[in-house]
Chains A and B, each alone.
Chain A
Amino acid sequence: MSNSEELPGGDEPMSTAAPEQRPKSTGLHKGEIAPGVAKVDPIIIADDIRRTFGGLTAVDVKHIEIPRNAITALIGPNGAGKTTLFNLLTGFDKPDAGKWTFEGHSLSGVPAFKVAQLGQVRTFQLTKALGLLTVLENMKLGAKGQRGERLLSSLFPALWRKQESEIEERAMVLLQKFKLAEKSEDFAASLSGGQRKLLEMARALMSEPTLVMLDEPMAGVNPALTQSLLDHILDLKDEGMTVLFVEHDMHMVRHIADWVIVMAEGKVVAEGPPDEVMKNQAVIDAYLGAHQDVDLGVVTGRIAGDIPEVGKYMADEVATLDGNIRSRSHKDSTPPEHPEKSS
C-alpha cells in the first residue's frame, strides 16, 4: 500500500534541521471522498457507534474505517468526542450502541486488556507513565506473553530469567531510540512531561502492536523532541504498523498524516488526505475557526501566546502549509479530489 522509501535511520540523533519529507501513503480510500468513505484495506471498521453522557451525545459515528499501514489523524475541536471514541474502540468505555471490528475480530464487549492483547494498543491524553516504577520497569511491563507474569511461575525465577533478559534488551534498544536510555534506572515520576509522553509511546511499542492509537502524543513536547517523535511515528508506519493519532497541532497533522478524519460534536464531519481536508469549509468552520475561542493547547501552555494570536497564527500556518504541500504534491497517484461540501 504505502510507497515505502528508504527510511532515515531511526537511530539517527535528533536533529533540529528541517526533516526530509517522507512520502505519504495515498490511494487509501475507495470511491468518492466523504465522511465514512470505505477504505481499500481497513484495519478498523466501525458502525453506528453512539455514546451519550446523560443528555450529551459525546460520540455518534455512522461509519468509519481506518486504513491499514497508514498514519491517520483524528482532529476536531475540544469536546468533539475524540478521546471518547478512543475509549470506545479500545474497550475502556462501552458504547450505548454500535459494533466495530479490528482485523476482522468483532470487538464489541471485548475488555480493554484483550483488545490490547490483540495488537491494538493505545496511549492516553493525560499521560499514564507509572511513576513508582523505573523507566526500564515501565518498558518491561509493556512486553506481551511474559512467563513471569503468571503467579505460579513467578515463584520460580529460573522459569522466567531468560525471557526477562531478552525483554530487557529489547527495551533498551527502544529506550535508546527514544533518548531515554540514560534514564532507564530512574523512577518514571522523575521524568519531564514530554519524556513521559515518549516513555508511554515506547512502552506501548514494547507489545509489538499492529495498531498504535496515540491520544495527543505531542502535547507538551518541545519542538526539537516533537521532531523526533514525528520521525518515530513515521518509522512505525515503515515497520508495517498502523497509527491512529489525535492531534490539535495542524502543522504536525499535515506533516505526517496520510489521512485525516475530522470530528465535531461526536460526528465525523469530514475526512480525506490532509491538504484536501484543510480546505474544507466545514472543517474551517467547525475546527480551525474554533481556535479563535479557546484552545486547550493554549491553556496547557502547549502553544505560546495569547488566545487571539493563536487564531491568527493558525490561519497563517494553514495558508503557508497549503502552499508548500501544493507545490510538493509530486507523487500523488490519484487526481486531487474535492471534498464534498457538507455543511
Chain B
Amino acid sequence: MTTTRIRRARWTKRSGVLALATLTATLALTLLAGPAAADDINLDKYDFKVVGNVKLNSVPLEDIEIKVDGGGYSAEVKTDAEGRWAIGVPEKGDYTVTLNEDTLPTDIAVVDEADDSPNVKEVSIGPSGSAVMNFFIGRGERNQTSFFDQLVERTVNGLNFGLMLGLAAIGLSLVYGTTSISNFAHGEMVTFGALATLVMSGGLGVPIWGAIPIAILLSMAFGYVLDAGLWRPLRKRGVGVVQLMIVSIGLSLALRYIFQFFIGGGTAQLPGADSPKIKLFGSVSLSVVDMTSMGISVVVILAVAWWLVRTRIGKATRAVADNPSLAAASGIDVDFVVRVVWIVAAGLAGLSGILWAYFRPGIRWDMGAQILLLIFAAVTLGGLGTAFGALVGSIVIGLLVELSTLWISSDLKYVGALGVLVLVLLLRPQGLLGRKERVG
C-alpha cells in the first residue's frame, strides 16, 4: 500500500526538533506543559483521517510524536497512554507520516529492513475515508541523518526553492519598476502557470514536455490580457499607485476564487511529481524533477539577465524602471515596454508556478497566494524595483525558509523568512540593493 514517494519525506522534519528555539516557546511550554499531550487532532474538522498505534513488543509507547504532511497540510500529535494517535486530514489524498525518533526511548528505533527511512511512511486515504499506519518498533539503528547532511540537504532545497521564487520575484520586480504597481495578483499568475499545465496534461492529455511550454505561452498570453484589458486602461486614466495596489488585491481575490470555482478546494498532481530520487553524495539525493527544475531556473534566470543587459528592449526596460518620464522623453515607447514586461513577468510567474507545483508537490487554487508574501519578501529584501536585487533576495529567502527548519518547527518556517524581512528593513529601509529617494 505504501508507495514510496520519498520526495515528500523531504518536507517532513525527520528529527522533528520540538521547537524550543525561542524563549517564548520555552516559557510557554514550561508554564503549560500539562495538557499538551493531545492524542488526536482535527478529527472534528475534517472528514478524513490517518490513525495508528505505536507499540514496542505489544507495550504501548506514550508521548511519541507523529506528524502527518501532505498537500500543504501538516499536523502533529503525541500518542496517548495506549500508544494510539489520530489525525484528521482535509483531503482524500496521499500523506506522509513521520514518527519522531527523538521522542522514542533510547536505543529503540523504527525497524523495517526494506526501507532506509523506516520512520517516514507514505499512506493513501482509502475508500473508508481513513488510513492506518502502525510503526514497528524494535532495537536497532535509528534512521538519523547527521546535522551536516541535513544542512547540505536543506541548502540544496533552499537553493532550488530560492531560484523558483526568483523567477516569480524578478517578474514582480520588473512590473513594480516599470509601473509602480505592487501587484498582489502576482501569486495568481503563479497559480495560473501550474493550472494551465494541469489542464493541458491532465485535461487535454498533452504529454508533459509539451504541456509545460504551452502553459508558459498561455501564461504570457494571460499577462498580455491583463495589461491590455486592465492595467493599461488604468494607466491611461492616471489611477494612483495605492489605488492600483488595491485593484490588484481585488484581482487577486477574484482570480483565486475563480480558480477554486473550477478546480475545487483539493490538490491535484502533475505527472512525474513522484519521480524517484537519485543519490548524489552523502545523504543528498535529488529527483530528476528537482534537478531539471534547478537547471531550468538557472538557465531562464541567466536568459532574463542577458535580455535585460544586452538587448535593446531589455535596456529600454531598465531605462523605464529608472525614470519613466525621462525614458519617454528620450523616445522609448513606454507602453510597449510595459506590455513586454507584463508578458515576460507573467511567463516567469507561470514557469515558477509549474516548478512550485512539483516542489510542494501539488496544485491548489491558492498555491500562489501561499508564496506571494515570500515573493514580496524577496523583492523587498533586494530593494523594490531592482531585478537583480529580487534574485538575491529570493535566494536568501529560499535558504532561510529551508534552513530554519533545522531549528524550528516546519509549520513556522515562513515565520523566520518574514521576520528577517522586517529586520532588514529596520536596518536598510531601501532594501539590500535599493537606493534612497530624494526629498524636496
Contacts and interface: CB of A to CB of B under 8 A. Distances in A.
The answer to whether A and B touch directly, with their CB atoms under 8 angstroms apart, is: yes
Interface of A: 54, 83, 86-87, 92-93, 124-126, 215
Given A87-B440, A126-B440, 6 more contacts: A54-B435, A86-B440, A87-B439, A92-B439, A92-B440, A215-B440
B376 to A, nearest CB: 27
B330 to A, nearest CB: 15
A111 to B, nearest CB: 13
Interface string B420-440: 000000000000000100011
Contacts of B440: 83, 86-87, 92, 124-126, 215
Contacts of B439: 87, 92-93
A196 to B, nearest CB: 15
B323 to A, nearest CB: 15
Majority SS of interface residues in chain B? loop
Contacts of A124: 440
12 contacts: A54-B435, A83-B440, A86-B440, A87-B439, A87-B440, A92-B439, A92-B440, A93-B439, A124-B440, A125-B440, A126-B440, A215-B440
Nearest to B439: A92
Nearest to B440: A124
B324 to A, nearest CB: 17
Interface of B: 435, 439-440
Majority SS of interface residues in chain A? loop
Across the A-B interface, give the 4 residue pairs with the lowest CB-CB distance, nearest first.
A92-B439, A124-B440, A87-B440, A83-B440
Contacts of A54: 435
B325 to A, nearest CB: 13
A94 B133 CA distance: 64
A92 B440 CA distance: 8
Contacts of A125: 440
Contacts of A93: 439
A299 to B, nearest CB: 11
A98 to B, nearest CB: 18
A87 B440 CA distance: 7
Nearest to B436: A53
A124 B439 CA distance: 9
A86 B439 CA distance: 10
Contacts of B435: 54
Nearest to B435: A54
Contacts of A92: 439-440
Contacts of A86: 440
A122 to B, nearest CB: 8
B439 to A, nearest CB: 5
A161 to B, nearest CB: 34
A87 B438 CA distance: 9
B435 to A, nearest CB: 8
A92 B439 CA distance: 7
B440 to A, nearest CB: 5
A100 to B, nearest CB: 17
Nearest to A54: B435
Contacts of A126: 440
A87 B436 CA distance: 14
A298 B439 CA distance: 23
A93 B440 CA distance: 10
Nearest to A90: B440
A83 B440 CA distance: 7
A91 to B, nearest CB: 10
A137 to B, nearest CB: 22
B347 to A, nearest CB: 33
A44 B439 CA distance: 21
A124 B435 CA distance: 22
A215 B439 CA distance: 12
B436 to A, nearest CB: 8
Contacts of A215: 440
A125 B439 CA distance: 10
Nearest to A125: B440
A320 to B, nearest CB: 33
Nearest to A126: B440
A86 B438 CA distance: 12
A125 B435 CA distance: 22
B386 to A, nearest CB: 14
B279 to A, nearest CB: 49
B41 to A, nearest CB: 45
B119 to A, nearest CB: 55
